[in-house]
Amino acid sequence: MKKQSNLYIFLYSSVMVIIVAALLSLASTTLKPFQQKNIETEKKLDILKSVGRASKVGSAPNKHEYVGDEFNTVIIEQLVVNRSGDGVEGVDPFTVDLKVEFAKAKENQNLPVFVAKMDDGSKKYILPLLGRGLWGPIWGYISLNDDYNTVYGASFAHKGETPGLGAEIANVDFQNQFKGKQIFKDDKFVSVSVIKGGAKPDNPYGVDAVSGGTITSQGLEDMIENCLKSYQEFFKKSKEISHERED
């Protein structure tokens, strides 16, 4: 067979395609467990950041172990509720995908709640967030005090917002603005506004928008409102239970 013949070229190309495909498949199968572990660790880290924990992750000898131990220590309960505020059995809260849930009819949506116990014994209720910025998805977690109204902390992340502009939502200084803000006004859900030009210092319902990141800021505001309003019945029923215990 002549090396330059069409048959040789065809056979050579076919063999190379098969070999490359096999190697890629092997690499994908081999790396998948490591990729899943990284995704799990990053998710736990984002949850912990919303309550100000895992601050030493950068110096930890083993990131996965550090985050896992911190998560197991701080997060004392994980649950799933529906839009009516009732608990849902048989669903793993950690694996709930908001993108999938928000594509469902409202009455079929599963909403995760992560309960953190702080060093002083107080409980914080951590809720996931998902929205869209200028260039792609944005997400995060927001934690509330046990009044289900006051924000304890927040963590936000993005896929491809502009560095120095919209990407600033991932900056700790921006996120710290949310501490102490309230999502209810006179028992009416109002969420937290992200205000272009800056919020007044005494405004308990607003924070400063990202300078030069108008669309990302608006996307963040919409994300918080759209996600938190899904939990309104959960907030209401949880408050009623708390009041009954106090009585």
225-238 pLDDT, tens digit each: 999 999 999 999 99
The identity of residue 208, as a single letter, is D
Name the DSSP letter for residue 2.
-
Banded model confidence at residue 95, pLDDT cuts 50, 70, 90: very high
User: What pTM was estimated for this model as a whole?
Assistant: 0.86
d(CA 203, CA 182): 10
Banded model confidence at residue 77, pLDDT cuts 50, 70, 90: very high
Q: Scanning the structure block, which residue is given the tokens 């992560």?
A: 114
Across the range 26-55, mean pLDDT stands at 88
What does the pLDDT look like over 179-238, one tens digit per residue? 999 999 999 999 999 999 999 989 999 999 999 999 999 999 999 999 999 999 999 999
Give the contacts of 61 (CB within 8 A, at least 6 positions apart): none
Q: How far is CA 214 from CA 13, 70, 146, 178, 223, in A?
A: 51, 35, 32, 18, 14
The pLDDT score that the predictor gives to residue 80 is 98
d(CA 25, CA 159): 26
What sign has the CA pseudo-torsion 86, 88, 89, 94? negative
Share of the chain above pLDDT 70, in %: 95
